[in-house]
Amino acid sequence: MISLASDSHVVGDDELTEGDAAVAQGDLAKAQASYAAARAAAPKSVGALVGLARVQMARADVPLDYASAKGNRAVAQACVQLAAVVKIAPSFGPAYVELGRGRLLLGDAPAALEALVRGARLMPGEPEAHSQLGVALLATGQSAKAVEELKRAVDLDPGSSARHGNLGTAFFMVGRTKEAVAEYEIRASMDDGDAKAHSDLGTALLATVDLERALSELRRAVALEPRRATFHSNLGYALQQVGRFDAAIDEYHEAIRLDAALVSAWINLGTVLARDPGRRTEARAALEHARSLAPDDPRVKANLEELDAMTSHGAPRP
């Protein structure tokens, strides 16, 4: 997290430092009070304004993934406040980074990118600025540039598991799978209790056809966070790849029970059911449900066409 205190000690800096530490510890009430105290001590402190917006976004209690706060009024309001800050303090880098982070949460990647480019230029030695910029570049399809920024963030802060995870994702998206696995392994070893770290590693291992290790990591993710539907769907897919079809079906059903709108689980369920000529009616129902959820998803169309071919020719699935 970027410090909001100035490089040279000024009035209100102690309170800003306390607020930053409280946010890092998850004590948002203390952070709110500290940032408010900083503003009272120095009414023109832009750091205090950024801190208060930071707390507001944290209180929205949303995952830190791209577009995870789409439509969230608290995050949107914080972004309005931060946009006002950068107008009155155009050289205050932390405001741009927090603004960019908020816009990423809202799913506005182009606007986030604009703010984060500025933030990274103002703070070239700040790993969080490069990390958030890398995420924005990923969200706008600029994967190669994202790798550069995320590598820079890791170089500046090699002890951060999250930065290794983000770099792994960037590597994965540009097809550098072995490097992705290496970064995900670092992240998982640094934070063994993080279910997403194990899920990401397992998914990358699937791409390298290291199926047994993939299964181990994906099972670990489910054990750590059994109510995450995507983890069950990913585990189901791995089980399907090793030929354990009944177990895969069980995982897909559990994923759907947890999240009935998870399109990938419906598609995967349809594909595994289609292998059995006696269950192709069920397979079609699953795929049609997926189409109702995502009419334009090309995976649904392709699998329905394949099912049509199998049904019309009576051919068993390879």
CATH number for the domain running over 11-123? 1.25.40.10
Where does the chain hold its CATH 1.25.40.10 domain(s)? 11-123
Distances (CA, A) of 252 to 74, 163, 306: 34, 31, 20
Question: How do residues 144-190 score in pLDDT, each as one tens digit?
Answer: 999 999 999 999 999 999 999 999 999 999 999 999 999 999 999 99
pLDDT of 8 reads 57
Contacts made by residues 82-87, CB under 8 angstroms, sequence distance 24+: 82/50, 82/53, 85/46, 85/49, 85/50, 85/53, 86/115, 86/118
Structure tokens, 26: 């998850």
Show the tokens assigned to 239.
Answer: 């089980």
Angle between the 229-241 and 195-207 helix axes, to the nearest 10 degrees?
30
pLDDT tens digit sequence for 235-276: 999 999 999 999 999 999 999 999 999 999 999 999 999 999
